[in-house]
Structure 1
Amino acid sequence: MEYDGSSVYDNAEFLQQYLLRRNRQDSPNNIIEKPVLLELMGDFTGKTVLDLGCWDGRFGYELLQQGCKYYEGVEGSSNMVHEARTRLDTTNSQIHHATIEGWNYPQHTYDIAISRLALHYVQDIQPTFGHIHHALVPGGEFIFSVQHPVLTSSMASAEISGKRSNWIVDEYFELGKRTEPWIGESVVKYHRTFEAYFQALKQAGFTIEDVRECSPRPELFEHQDEFKRRMRIPLFLMFRCVK
């Protein structure tokens, strides 16, 4: 069985295993991707934040604790929505159960839109970038991360169990659907090149202010062997854009 987008998180067994991996201290999401995202967000005190693919609301709770005025999340998984609403129950926030591409975006509403590792589940990214552009106030920022295209180009490396020491990059310029074996399931993602993301953002009206590949920072790693392994290939691609 193939799972499209966030539907895989409604598999209870998968969700349990995913959350164990995602929330562990040495998760690449926590020590490689997240520090760069926070750096690009800068001072969000008093800002209204839209989070596309908000998962379990954990990051939204952190943003609110650190000065975000209002947080709004969009999540396609009913299990994740339940987790997020429970976690954010008493905060100035709202969680919508909808897909990123299917949600009815309000216009000129948010100071910052973010998305962490969710947009590679969206088949047609161009309309979504357009919706996000319209949802931001003038001068609003859009900051997002995706799985790096060198990883999404070929799923051959993902079929190898255990810690990978070699990665296969193939069919890089063949855009489109990929099916990844992940935590015992088959999950559909969509491969786009660096160029494809860049051009889609420009066509939606964004100005690209910064691009990062989230170079690992040695001080954040408990074990230097793991740091050296993570220095071999980029895991994430991140853009900071302005309306």
Structure 2
Amino acid sequence: MSNQNIYDNQIFFDGYKKLRSNPSAANDIVEKPALFSLSPNLQNKSILDIGCGYGENCVEFIKMGASSVTGLDISVKMLEVAENENTSPNIKYINKSMTDLNEIAEKYDVIFSSLAVHYIEDFDKLIKDVYNLLNQGGYFIFSQEHPLTTALLTQNYWTCNEENERIHYNLTTYALEGERKVTWIVDGVIKYHRTMSSIINSLSNAGFIINKMLEPIPSKEIMNQYPSYKRYIHKPDFLLIKAKK
């Protein structure tokens, strides 16, 4: 099973930090608002954040009323930022891979994951582990790169016109699931492609009930402010799912 830890690569880490500091970063403009829109009432709830990164979401969960938050991440560098910048008496961070969730003894009311599950090879195991960590009636809420994005075996994503405007997305190899090696900040970043039906079936087979799915796109105002976001008209970047145990 994949245990990739690309975020502890110093070149990648520095590049990612620069990317996230951009005020027009898609994480902040598109993905995070969608993720939080799916959240149930967190008052007095126990939360696990899988792939917590800098811990920004962990702090937000406390502000939303959570009684305790555990942030889990494989990256030591990411957790160093979390410990230095996003702490609270009710937040604890643990350095652990998503592949080892079965080693956790605690139970949680809500489990979140932001843009992490597409790094995992054995999605079925991950979903079963998450299911087992939830209290009955609990929720698993996660975002991932959209399957239309992960599908391509090459990074020839767009066809453009003579004015270099994107006119359509070059969707290929959607039905061919498995490993994808991409260049994102550095070469050789490994992600895993799964079709939409495979994702839903894994959740269903584990016992989850799908409550809601989102494929968020920016508002017209955002598209006008940042013209590159007009690409969302052709293809969303993110898929988000809220599932209940």
TM-score in terms of structure 2 length: 0.89
Structure 1 residues 107, 217: CA separation in 2 closer, same or farther (over 3 Å shift)? farther
- Helix, strand or coil: the match of 2:83? helix
- Which residue of 2 is the match for residue 27 of structure 1? 25
2:141 alignment partner AA = I
One-letter amino acid matched to 2:209:
T
> CA, structure 1 residues 175+218, in 2 after alignment: closer, same or farther (shift >3 Å)?
same
- Aligned Cα RMSD in Å? 2.3
Could you say which residue in structure 1 is the equivalent of 2:233?
231
Q: Indicate the percent of aligned positions where both proteins have the same amino acid.
A: 30
Alignment of 1:135-174 (within 5 A): 135-157=133-155, 167-174=169-176
1:64 Cα offset (Å): 1.6
Q: Which moved more, 1:35-44 or 1:232-241?
A: 35-44
SS of residue paired to 2:47: strand
More deviation, 99-108/23-32: 99-108
Shift of residue 31 of structure 1? Answer: 1.0
Tell whether the 8 Å contact from 1:32 to 1:217 is kept in structure 2 after alignment.
no
Partner of 1:210: 212
- Change in 2 beyond 3 A, CA 1:85/1:6: farther
- Report if aligned partners of 1:115, 1:144 keep a CA contact under 8 Å in 2: yes
Matches within 5 A, 1:1-12: 6-12=4-10
- In structure 1, runs of 5+ residues without a counterpart are none
Q: CA deviation at 1:65?
A: 2.6
Equivalent pair of 2:169/2:234 in contact (CA under 8 Å):
no
- Whole-Å separation in 2 of the counterparts to 1:22 and 1:153: 24
Once residues 68 and 219 of structure 1 are traced to their aligned partners in structure 2, the CA distance between those partners, rounded to angstroms, is 33
Which amino acid in structure 2 is aligned with residue 234 of structure 1? P
Amino acid across the alignment from 1:168: N
Q: Following TM superposition, by how much is the alpha carbon of 1:235 offset from its aligned partner in structure 2, in angstroms?
A: 0.3
Q: Deviations over 1:213-233 (max 9, x none)?
A: 113223455615234233221
Q: What are the superposed Cα offsets for residues 167-224 of structure 1, whole Å, 9 maximum, x if unpaired? A: 3221111110000111132200000000000000011110011111113223455615
The structural deviation recorded for 1:93 is 1.2
TM-score of the two chains, using structure 1 as the length reference:
0.89
Q: In structure 1, give the amino acid aligned to 2:212.
A: D
Pick one of 198, 201, 217 that aligns with 1:199: 201
CA–CA distance in 2 between the matches of 1:66 and 1:84?
Answer: 18
Using the TM superposition, give the Cα deviation of residue 58 of structure 1 relative to its aligned residue in structure 2, in angstroms: 1.5
Q: Which runs of 5+ in 2 are unaligned?
A: 159-163
Matches for 1:1-243 after TM superposition, within 5 Å: 6-106=4-104, 109-157=107-155, 167-220=169-222, 223=225, 225-243=227-245
Moved more, 179-188 or 221-230: 221-230
Report how many residues are paired: 239
